[in-house]
Amino acid sequence: MIKDYQVKAPNRLWVADITYLGNRENPAYLSLITDAYSKKIVGYDVSDSLASTSSLKALKSALKKEKIEELIHHSDRGLQYCSDDYQKVLNQYNIRCSMTQESDPYQNAIAERINGILKQECDIDKFNVNLQCRKKLVADVIKIYNEKRPHFSNHFLTPKQIHTQQELVPKLYKRKSDTVGKTVPLD
């Protein structure tokens, strides 16, 4: 559904994903809902389980904070997003559901990029801490990410800054492996 879809305002397209944090002694999973226009993380939850309840908490926290209309929710085909409870909330808010074909991470590139930023730049998965400490760490990192970290594709604005604007055309760049000359968002 979102192929070739150009987002021109916040809260028109949300991307969702789950990423693994921690280690065998202290496993944790971060469920994220990110606005595709601004790259702002609008909802999240940290859990020690992959159950759909964590993804649902992330979605509900985003819905509490953000004003939506004509929203598309895009994710992979994980069981959490296909669950009856999750789909029920999407339907309740008239949110259109879009999912990747098979399990191609490039079809959910923005969500995967945000996971990478949080892990590589902020090291949220490196610390061997218990779940409560990890929740606090993630909350602090997401606040810094949303309010302080500029994005190249956001015209060097932070997610929070661009989230209040509309009609900024995202910067598009060619990938190295792109031989056809198509452009894709870099950040």
Q: What is the CATH number of the domain that holds 164?
A: 3.30.420.10
72 assigned to some structural domain: yes
3 assigned to some structural domain: no
96 assigned to some structural domain: yes
6 assigned to some structural domain: no
C-alpha neighbours within 13 Å on the C-beta side of residue 57: 14
* pLDDT tens, residue by residue, 96-147: 999 888 776 777 888 889 888 888 888 887 778 889 999 999 999 999 999 9
Residue 27's domain comprises 13-185
Element (H, E) at 174: none
User: Where are the extended beta strands (E) located within the chain?
Assistant: 13-22, 27-35, 41-47, 72-75, 96-99, 172-173, 184-185
pLDDT value, residue 150? 86
157 assigned to some structural domain: yes
39 assigned to some structural domain: yes
pLDDT value, residue 121? 86
8 assigned to some structural domain: no
| Domains identified in the chain, total number | 1
1 assigned to some structural domain: no
